[in-house]
């Protein structure tokens, strides 16, 4: 039997509060543009407690008339952290930041023209089991580059809805918000923590053992696997990470040492396994077609980076700068000197000899003239 809307709302809003949405993504993917598009001027900027990382909050009006609170996470290429500042994005997602509830849904902003690189962070967030929606942003740039992305198939492969958007022009924003509200209304919309990618059996056994240990420390079963992977990727002997149980830290360092001695460093194995899966997803969902006619910025970029035209333009600009400094500047310098000399003469004619006249002519006017020249 399907849940009634009021039951679904209670399930998603945790005791009647407004739902929390997090916006995550790589830098330069249009993440902040999308945040601005869905929140408008309903924003507040501050810092996370204890760090200087900026925290941007906003209010999102949903299609039904309900409202949701939204937080714009710091842009990052991965959830792997080496310092407390880098740890913020991860800690917000798992509800470990003071005054910031665990998000009910994450909008993962993906640059459609760099799909494989952006799916790395997306895969880490999906592993956490949080309900997600992928905003396939900058789809116009991808299409101009000849990339044809089957967003429905991509959503099927990732197990979450995918909505094409162009945030800077607010295209696809209505569809995105409608999808967000649909996912918020579904109980248990996140995955069950089952990863679609796997590492070697020996490494997986170490991950499973650490996940079982985390389960004894109040990490819920569907997230323990992802948290074990995050710890094995992030923790180092002299890192600056905060809030990690000393016993767990010691166990993580011991596992890392065992894997290093076996010749299978965890970080390398994880990266290779993730990207192997990402490559399969991209090949299934992306077709490279004919590149569209470039816009003017693309044409200029092609001209300036051309192997022949680029150096010619560079040396031409350098010659122009040299000529302007050592030849064309002479008339301008003489003109400036003439103007300031006229000002000095005018002051001498108006004021009698004395300290004030000398201050103005020899100090103020002469000094200003030297600075301008």
The per-residue pLDDT for 334 is 82
317-341 burial, b at 16+ Cβ within 10 Å, e below that, comes to eeeeeeeeeeeeeeeeeeeeeeebe
The per-residue pLDDT for 77 is 93
Gap between the Cα atoms of 201 and 209, Å rounded: 12
CB atoms within 10 A of CB 24: 28
For 292, phi then psi, to 5°, come to -75, 165
Gap between the Cα atoms of 366 and 373, Å rounded: 11
The per-residue pLDDT for 98 is 87
The per-residue pLDDT for 67 is 94
pTM above 0.85, yes or no: no
The per-residue pLDDT for 3 is 41
The per-residue pLDDT for 53 is 82
Burial class (CB in 10 A: 0-12, 13-18, 19+), 197: middle
| Closest C-alpha to 373, from 325, 332, 343, 324 | 332
The per-residue pLDDT for 302 is 82
pLDDT along the chain (373 residues), means of 10: 39 64 95 93 76 86 94 94 86 91 96 96 95 96 91 96 96 97 82 84 96 91 93 92 92 96 94 97 90 69 87 92 79 83 88 86 84 74
Question: Looking at 73-213, which runs of residues are DSSP E strands?
Answer: 105-111, 132-137, 147-149, 162-164
Residue ranges and CATH numbers for the domains of the chain are: 5-184 (3.40.50.300), 201-288 (1.10.287), 297-372 (no CATH)
> Taking a C-beta distance cutoff of 8 angstroms, is the pair 31, 72 a contact?
yes
Gap between the Cα atoms of 196 and 191, Å rounded: 11
Residue in the block written with tokens 């249009």: 30
The per-residue pLDDT for 1 is 34
Gap between the Cα atoms of 83 and 138, Å rounded: 31
């Amino acid at each position: 039997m399907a849940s009634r809307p009021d039951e679904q709302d209670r399930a998603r809003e945790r005791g009647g509060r407004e739902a929390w949405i997090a916006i995550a993504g790589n830098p330069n993917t249009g993440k902040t543009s999308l945040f601005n598009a869905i929140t408008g001027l309903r924003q507040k900027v501050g810092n996370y407690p204890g760090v200087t990382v900026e925290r941007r909050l906003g209010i999102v009006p949903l299609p039904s008339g309900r409202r949701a609170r939204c937080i714009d996470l710091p842009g990052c290429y991965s959830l792997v952290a080496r310092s407390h500042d880098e740890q913020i994005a991860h800690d917000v997602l798992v509800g470990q930041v003071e005054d910031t509830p665990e998000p009910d849904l994450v909008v993962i902003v993906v640059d459609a023209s760099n799909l494989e690189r952006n799916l790395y962070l997306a895969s880490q967030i999906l592993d956490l089991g949080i309900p997600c929606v992928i905003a396939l942003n900058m789809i116009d740039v991808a299409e101009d580059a000849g990339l044809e992305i089957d967003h429905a198939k991509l959503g099927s492969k990732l197990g979450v809805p995918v909505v094409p958007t162009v945030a800077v022009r607010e295209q696809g924003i209505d569809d995105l918000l409608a999808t967000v509200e649909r996912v918020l209304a579904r109980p248990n919309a996140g995955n069950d923590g089952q990863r679609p990618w796997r590492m070697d059996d020996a490494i997986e056994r170490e991950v499973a053992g650490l996940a079982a240990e985390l389960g004894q420390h109040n990490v819920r079963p569907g997230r323990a696997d992802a948290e074990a992977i995050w710890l094995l990727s992030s923790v180092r002997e002299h890192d600056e990470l905060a809030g990690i149980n000393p016993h767990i830290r010691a166990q993580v360092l011991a596992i890392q040492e065992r894997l290093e001695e076996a010749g299978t460093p965890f970080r390398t194995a994880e990266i290779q396994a993730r990207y192997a899966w990402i490559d399969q997803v991209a090949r299934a969902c992306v077709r490279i077609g004919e590149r569209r006619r470039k816009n003017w910025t693309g044409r200029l970029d092609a001209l300036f980076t051309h192997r022949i035209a680029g150096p010619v333009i560079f040396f031409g600009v350098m010659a122009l700068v040299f000529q302007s400094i050592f030849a064309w500047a002479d008339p301008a310098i003489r003109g400036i000197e003439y103007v300031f000399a006229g000002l000095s003469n005018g002051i001498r004619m108006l004021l009698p000899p004395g300290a004030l006249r000398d201050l103005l002519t020899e100090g103020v006017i002469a000094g200003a003239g030297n600075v301008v020249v």
